[in-house]
Amino acid sequence: MAQTSFELTARDGRARRGVIRTPRGEIRTPAFMPVGTAATVKGMMPESVAATGADILLGNTYHLMLRPGAERVARLGGLHKFMNWSGPILTDSGGFQVMSLAELRKLTEDGVSFRSHIDGSKHMLSPERSMEIQKLLGSDIVMAFDECPALPADRDRIAQSMRLSMRWAARSREAFGDRPGHMLFGIQQGGLEQDLRGESAEALKGIGFDGYAVGGLAVGEGQEAMFGCLDYAPDMLPEDRPRYLMGVGKPDDIVGAVKRGIDMMDCVLPSRSGRTGQAWTRRGQVNIKNARHADDPRPLDENCTCPACRGYSRAYLHHVFRAGEMISGMLLTWHNLHYYQELMAGMREAISGARFDAFEAEFHAVRAEGDIDPL
């Protein structure tokens, strides 16, 4: 029966390069996972997402359980078939989004009962139900069900929440069972408290997972505090398993996280920004609605090989954004996802060549030049 594995192929300082093997394909790490919240990466055909270099997508348990429903997706052949994506899919546990989006939440030892933010219908999520939903969806990488307090929170609240998440992690492991070809990741919590992060890591290692996420960051603490935590948190997790930083981030967050030993990340930023006229380039962020682009015949990034940069000027991208045309979000999302994947590929090469520090210095130097030369 097909199995999964993780192999580290190069290291440079704390940065790691590797490959996760699943029956649905290989995931080159460090990996960036585009977010397909509602069984679509908004504005992108699945083959276009693959063309940007993405090996794996993320799906959201909370959104999919409410609409169209996990049982319905299962009856229709699972999430891969439903959304026409044949590569690996990671699903989150629903824990984070139920706490941030659902209405009338009631948190108990057993789980969370809540009302849908879409139609007010009643639902519940527990470690057991989250494992069941992720199995119905057919997820390749399943996340343990956890609870994550927004920061800042006081130490007692963070400790209580972390210990509840560790009890839920054990129940998730038990409910997941033995599923060859699928991976289950545990999630480290503990906020910005180093000793609580250590306690959480020990609890997770005692349970045993196929991979480990650093959870509870990118929730409003700021980059400096996040990097401060990443200076120690990943090293508390097993060396020989993938490490996933959830919900990160901007390009400079991603480079800083990889430098600190993170292997996988996801974020809505490249796709969400694309729909609001924001582009991310080697030379920094570009707001395409700005009037300075209206007569500019040059592409977003002269070195970029994406369809938006090969075929269209800043003037055109500015025009279609201002005119509210659908192609605006499509092109900017394509460019952003392409840029993110190029960034990951560049870091993987740099790690293999033992020149990550030089890569990082160049990354920051190019951004400091500003997004384009004067016409």
CB 41 → Zn ion: shortest distance, Å?
16
95 is in an annotated binding site: yes
Nearer to Zn ion, 77 or 370 (CB): 370
Nearer to Zn ion, 287 or 352 (CB): 287
309 is in an annotated binding site: yes
CB 110 → Zn ion: shortest distance, Å?
48
Q: Say which of 12, 55, 92, 210 is annotated catalytic.
A: 92
**Integer angstrom CA distances of residue 276 from 75, 247, 367:** 35, 19, 21
**Integer angstrom CA distances of residue 281 from 55, 178, 221, 366:** 21, 43, 25, 10
- Confirm if 369 and 286 have CB atoms less than 8 A apart: no
229 is in an annotated binding site: no
Residues in touch with Zn ion (CB under 5 A) = 304, 306, 308-309, 335
Nearer to Zn ion, 316 or 356 (CB): 316
Nearer to Zn ion, 183 or 300 (CB): 300
Strands (E), 229-368: 243-245, 264-267, 278-281, 284-287
User: Residue 223 and residue 217: Cα distance in Å, rounded?
Assistant: 9
CB 342 → Zn ion: shortest distance, Å?
9
267 is in an annotated binding site: no
53 is in an annotated binding site: no
Nearest C-alpha neighbor of 64 from the set 123, 3, 140: 123
Annotated catalytic, 240?
no
3-state secondary structure of 120: coil
User: Residue 141 and residue 99: Cα distance in Å, rounded?
Assistant: 22
Listed in sequence order, the residues at least 6 apart from 123 whose beta carbon sits closer than 8 Å to its beta carbon are: 65, 66, 102, 113, 114, 115, 116
Nearer to Zn ion, 82 or 312 (CB): 312
92 is in an annotated binding site: yes
Annotated catalytic, 253?
no
User: Each residue of 232-267: b (16+ CB within 10 Å) or e?
Assistant: ebbebbeeebbbbbbbbbbbebbbbbbbbbbbbbbb
CB 220 → Zn ion: shortest distance, Å?
30
CB 338 → Zn ion: shortest distance, Å?
5
- Token pair, residue 258, equals 């990889």
Binding residues for Zn(2+): 304, 306, 309, 335
Binding residues for substrate: 92-96, 146, 189, 216
Active-site amino acid positions: 92, 266
